[in-house]
Structures are given as structure tokens and as C-alpha cells.
Chain A
Amino acid sequence: MSLISIRDIRKSYGPLEVLKGVSLEVEKGDVFAIIGRSGSGKSTLLRCINGLETFQSGVIVADGIEVGGARTDLRELRRQVGMVFQQFNLFPHLTAAENVTLAPAVVNKIGKRAARDLAAEMLAKVGLSDKMDSYPSQLSGGQQQRVAIARALAMRPKVLLCDEITSALDPELVNEVLRVVEQLAREGMTLMLVTHEMRFARDVGTSLVFMHHGKVHEQGTPKGLFAAPKTPELQQFIGSIS
């Protein structure tokens, strides 16, 4: 059974339909790169998976938990499905270590000692061991985003959703974040990334999804799709970003 099963999702904001029947199956260890123009519904799709957005019809099942029902256990869902945001959204009044340990301490109720060890482990993983007691305002954009990744990983989710996590970064800081994500992929983490980083999608992704006007327009292996796009829309898209 797929880790995440998305079947025929439809979502509208009032009269505007942004998702027009999206279906995807995500297996454990997959790295899904979702690309497309702005307004194609990419981020909305991601946010439907962890319950930040609701949808009108269709089914999403993530790690056996059905999303969107009245009885959905959002707390359990979000333990298994983590998210990293474009704007980082670090908690400004907490240090990097405190950002990482807040949810494990409050939700999973691990003790203080275990929390400190967890923070050290996670921040080491993203290469920021020396910044444990720094506040977000003292960190660069790239460092902040890496803390955000550590924070999401601290809950030990089965899937990590990344919503354009490098789009708000200065170009020279993008690579440090991508390297962390690449490492996660190599370790077998299941990832779904909405991204504009085509080289990353091609090199690290196992599956490429091109979204257009709220639907999955093309899907396949990244190398295959980049080499031979089937539809004019994808050809145009690749052309415009090269």
C-alpha cells in the first residue's frame, strides 16, 4: 500500500477551482518533485495533505490516516507528515534548539534530557551544531531554513513536505539547503517537494509531477520528462525556465 494515496482531489476557493481532480500514489522512499507555473495548484495540493487546507471531494490517505474527514486525527497525521515552509516560519522568541524541541516536548512529551539530545542530533544532521543557542534573527536565511528542516525532522515523520523551501533564499544560500535535502533523500526519507530547482529535481527526484491548471499534466521520471516532454505546456515550461 502506498504511503500517501491521493485520489481525485478537487478543491475550490469559492467559485475558483484550484484542484480539478488530482491523483497521485507516493511510495515509501519516493522523492516527488512537483513543478509548474504559479497558480497551478502545487502548494495547495501539498497543504491539503497535512490538513492545512481542506478539499471538497476526493480522498487522501497518509500513513493509513484518512485526511479531511470529520474525525481525522490531525494531531496523529501531523506527527507522521512534516512540513517545511517557504518563509521558514521559525519561532522568533525561541533559540534554534528550542525551536527543534518544542513539538517533541509538548506533543510527544519527551523529557528535558532527551529533548536536548534530540536537538543536538537534528541540528548536527543539518550542519548547525554550533548554532544551537542562536536565535533566528541571528541566522542567515539558509541557516534558518536548515533549522526549520531539523525542527520538522525532530518529530520523526514518515513523510516530509517541502513547499518551495528555497524560493525565499538568496541564490548563494540555496545550495546548503538542497544538500541537506539530498542527504535526506539518500537516507531513504520520503519527500514531496514543490520546487523551482530543476537541476535538483532531475538529479535527486525519483518522480516528477508537472501540474497545470489544477491537474497533473504529466508525470514520469525526471530525466525522462526533461529529455522528452510529451505535451506542449511542459515543453513551454521547461523552455521558460532554462
Chain B
Amino acid sequence: MLQFSFWDILSNLLIATQWTLILSAIAFASGGIVGLVLLFMRTSRVAPLEWFTKSYIEFFQGTPLLMQLFLFFFGVALFGIEVSPLTAAWLALTLWTSAFLTEIWRGCVEAVPRGQWEASSSLALSYIEQMRHVILPQATRIAVAPTVGFSVQVIKGTALASIIGFVELTKAGTELNNATFRPFLVYSLVALIYFCLCFPLSWCAKKLESRLNVAH
């Protein structure tokens, strides 16, 4: 059995952490784009679009992320397409993220006081003009804190990609544990690294939220 020093373990974990960050970033970005599209569909007042979006959200919020990962990993393979764990994880995380972000953002639009709608409509602005000039600018300000907060969930979600074989931080931990038989040390380090990634973002989100509340 190879002898792994503390620094061997740590450096291996840190290398794998890059993949955690990469997957988190691309899933968050694509999830955000899909989420925006869903937001417009959800508020479009076109019944079939609204119904589809509601069902979509219900499914991705009401089933375990792990199940979604499995479905994507095995499901896509059914169509004969070879999909790598990274791709499957990225796809699953994108849709999962989009379902949560669109609901968060819809809440932010609804948090804009009704008086703003009344004042802008009294000034003869159309729905699109109201959204563009009055409502969305305010909704975006409200949305920054919870969106940053959700990025933490995405990072934690990437840990599940290890189960379908993607080598990120958690998978590296599992493999190192199998190689070194030092689970306490390995998983402590894994947890610590996740903490270092997530805590600053959580702290940021909290600060942003309290700053927003003070301003009102």
C-alpha cells in the first residue's frame, strides 16, 4: 500500500476541487439562463406555458437530485448517446438549478410593492414598459441575495455527481479513503474544503440581505 502523507491527501483533494468549482459555475450559469426563460414563460399569462412551467418546477423541486442525476445518466444513454458523467451531471444540475432559481426570481418580482404597479400603470405605461423600467430593476435588486444564497446549494449539489462517477471533491475523498483507510482525516478535509467554498458565499448572501432590509 502506498504511503500517503497529509500533504498528498490535501493536494489531491484540492486538485479535485477545481472540478467542483467548474461544474458549479457552468451549472449555475446555464441554470440561470434556463431559469430566466422559465420566468417569462411562467408570467406570460399563456395558459399552456404556465402549466408546463409549473409542472416542470413541481418535478424538479419534488424529486431527489440524486434521482434526476440517475435519470439523466441512464436515460440519455438509452438514445444511444454516450454521455460522460460530467455532461450528465451538468445537464441534471442545470435543470434542477433552473427550477429553483425561477421560483426565487418570481418571488422577487412579486415582492415589488403593488403600489409600483399602480403608479406606473396610472402613468399610462404598458405591461412591458412597466416590467422593463419599474418592476424588473427593483426585482433584480431584491434577487441578488437569494441568488447568491442558492449558489451554495449548487456547490453542495455537485457532491452528488460523485455517485455517477464524476471525479470532483467528494469522489476524490472516497477514492483517497479507499487508498489510505484514513476516513476521519479524509472526510474532515473534504468537509473543510466545502466549508471554505460555501461559507464566504453564505456570508455574502446574509450581508446583502441585511443591507437590503436596512435600505427600506
- Bound CA span A93–B137, Å: 7
Query: Chain A: which residue is nearest B137 at the CB level?
Result: A93
How does the 8 Å CB contact mask read for B98-132 relative to A, with 1 for contact and 0 for none?
00000000000000010110111111111001000
**Partner among B119, B126, B133, B215 whose Cβ is within 8 Å of the Cβ of A89:** B119
- What is the CA–CA distance of A52 and B115 in the complex, to the nearest angstrom? 11
The answer to whether B118 and A155 have CB atoms under 8 Å apart is no
- The 8 Å CB contact of A87, one of B115, B126, B129, B133, is B115
Distance between Cα atoms of A77 and B123 in the complex (Å): 10
Contact B215 A137 (CB under 8 A): yes
A85: Cβ under 8 A from any B Cβ: yes
A107 contacts the other chain (Cβ, under 8 Å)? yes
CB distance from A148 to the nearest CB of B (A): 8
B211 at the interface (CB under 8 A from A): no
Measured CB to CB, the nearest residue on chain A to B126 is A75
Give the size range of A's interface with the partner: 20 to 34
- A79 contacts across to B, CB distance below 8 A: 124
- Closest chain B residue, CB of each to CB of A51: B121
Assuming the A-B contacts A107-B125, A155-B123, are A85 and B115 also in contact, with contact meaning beta carbons closer than 8 angstroms in the complex?
A: yes
- Whether B124 and A91, one on each chain, are in contact in the complex, defined by CB atoms closer than 8 angstroms, is no
Q: A64-99, CB under 8 A of B: which get 1 and which 0?
A: 000000000011111100110101011111000000
Q: How far is the CA of A12 from the CA of B118 in the complex (A)?
A: 20
Which single residue of chain A is at the shortest CB-CB distance from B123?
Answer: A103
The residues of A with any CB-CB pair to B shorter than 8 Å are 50, 52, 74-79, 82-83, 85, 87, 89-93, 102-103, 106-107, 137, 148, 151-152, 155
* A/B interface sample: 21 pairs, CB < 8 A: A74-B121, A75-B124, A75-B126, A77-B124, A79-B124, A82-B122, A85-B118, A89-B119, A91-B119, A91-B133, A91-B138, A93-B138, A93-B141, A102-B123, A102-B125, A103-B125, A106-B129, A107-B129, A137-B215, A151-B123, A155-B123
Give 5 A-B pairs besides A52-B121, A78-B122 with Cβ atoms closer than 8 angstroms.
A74-B124, A77-B124, A85-B119, A89-B113, A107-B125
